[in-house]
A and B are shown apart, each in its own frame.
Chain A
Amino acid sequence: MGFSVSGSAAIIFVGVFLAFSTAYTASADGFERVSDARSAVDEQALERQNTVIDVTNASYGNGTLSVEVVNEGATGLSVGAVDLLVDNAYRDNFTARTVAGSNSTDLWLPGERLRLDVSAPNRPDRIKVVSGPGVADVEVL
């Protein structure tokens, strides 16, 4: 009788041990996944707080619209992530897209001026520039 009790206790113990190790791994992985996501979102919120852009000049002439935007924030932005809306139409066929005179860089650092040139058959009314973190500025021509 005594041997059957210890045998069954051992089987149940092994079962509980296996179940606990599975549950622990799944919980730890899940917790880490969610906390990673939260930390990425926190970092992005900080980046957004540090972002300020200002359309300093927008001019139209000879079928080309030129927009100059200054990064007045404290964080570096990506040129590729900048969106330009001309009269609410999305434009990405830039004839020129330069930061401080260079068209090869993707970095738009604090204090630098981004120049966007697009062709426009008619004189537009409103221009909206949206940066990567979603911070935007509107200019009326």
Chain B
Amino acid sequence: MASVSASHLILFIASLVIAAGVAGTFTQGISRLSQGIDDQSLEVSEEVRTDIEVISDAGSPVYNNSSKTVTLLVKNTGTAAIPADDRFIDILVDGRYRTNVTVTVVDGAEWRPNNVVRLEIGGTDLSPGDHRAKVIVNGDEEVFAFRV
């Protein structure tokens, strides 16, 4: 009789341990998923809030032939601050990715909504004719066409 109670106790403990393991794994998985949803929603909301506008005057020259530099002025017309760093701003001139970019906020310390940054894209040896510059920030793309 004692052996029956002992085996019942062993089975009881084993079932509790297994149940705790299942519940723990499940809770951990869902908690990781929740963290993922949280991070993703933060990213999506930042993407939605980001809006930029190239305000350079296409009627005036934007390309400096002697320094081989294209200068663009880009305004933050969204509702979120964007880091004014070339790691967050992707620039393509005529489809070629450019890395030689200097970013300067011209009317403040940070690139907050309504502030303007100057992008100086160096090493762009452009021939006379039509050209396109594409600025990508946080998924928001702006194309600026100009003539040299």
Contacts and interface: CB of A to CB of B under 8 A. Distances in A.
Given A37-B49, A44-B79, A136 B22 contact: no
B38 A30 contact: yes
B27 interface: yes
A38 B118 CA distance: 28
A38 to B, nearest CB: 6
Contacts of B30: 19-20, 22-23
B48 A38 contact: yes
Interface string B45-75: 1101101010111011110000000010101
Interface in B8-57: 8, 11-12, 15-16, 18-20, 22-24, 26-27, 29-31, 33-35, 37-38, 40-42, 44-46, 48-49, 51, 53, 55-57
A88 interface: yes
Nearest to A26: B34
A140 to B, nearest CB: 8
B31 to A, nearest CB: 5
A101 B41 CA distance: 46
Contacts, number: 142
Nearest to A7: B16
A22 B41 CA distance: 15
B49 A30 contact: no
Given A4-B15, A41-B79, A88-B57, 15 more contacts: A1-B11, A4-B12, A7-B16, A12-B26, A16-B23, A19-B27, A26-B38, A34-B45, A37-B49, A81-B114, A83-B107, A85-B60, A85-B73, A90-B116, A92-B106
14 contacts: A1-B8, A4-B8, A16-B26, A22-B31, A22-B34, A26-B35, A27-B34, A33-B42, A34-B48, A37-B45, A37-B79, A41-B78, A81-B114, A92-B107
Interface of A: 1, 3-5, 7-9, 11-12, 14-16, 18-20, 22-23, 25-27, 29-31, 33-34, 36-38, 40-41, 44, 48, 78, 80-81, 83, 85, 87-88, 90, 92, 125-126, 128, 130, 132-134, 136, 138, 140
Interface of B: 8, 11-12, 15-16, 18-20, 22-24, 26-27, 29-31, 33-35, 37-38, 40-42, 44-46, 48-49, 51, 53, 55-57, 59-62, 71, 73, 75, 77-79, 106-107, 114, 116, 118
